[in-house]
Amino acid sequence: MGKFDPAPTLAAGLLRLARDKADITQKELATAASVTQQSVSSYETGRKEPTLPTLQRLLAAAGFEMRIHLEPLDYHDATLKAFMRTLPPSRQAELEAESRTRVENQRQRRIQGH
């Protein structure tokens, strides 16, 4: 799993980001948070999901805190999905292909440091 691969879970993504920003290894994070390196690896790959207190402890060990707040529900995704169903299948396929291309181009730019 590479540094720029999408994270399988929210916790995995937060841990990877915190570790990357702190410039520490899984072993260093594990030691600072009093967990095993294998646990950190399992959390970052999505094989295991940390409890909220464990996630907070891991992030704190990397020098970060997680702030959680409530926002009104965003219906954007459901609305977009409903709109897509109104389009002919060929147009749906075109838009989905364009979206995949755009995402891949953005990913390549991140990898190349642009």
CATH number of the domain enclosing 50 = 1.10.260.40
* pLDDT for residue 4: 60
Examine residue 1 and state whether it is found in any structural domain, yes or no.
Answer: no
Examine residue 4 and state whether it is found in any structural domain, yes or no.
Answer: no
72-86 burial code (b ≥16 CB/10 A, e <16): eeeeeeeeeeeeeee
Query: Which is nearest to 18 in space by CA: 69, 66, 51?
Result: 66
pLDDT, average across residues 56-74: 95
* pLDDT for residue 92: 94
Q: Return d(Cα 49, Cα 104) in angstroms, integer.
A: 27
Total domain count for the chain? 2
Least confident of 3-7, 10-14, 95-99: 3-7
50 and 58 Cβ atoms separated by less than 8 Å: yes
46 and 12 Cβ atoms separated by less than 8 Å: yes
24 and 52: one domain?
A: yes
44 and 15: one domain?
A: yes
pTM of the model: 0.64
Domain with 25, as residue range(s), is 10-61
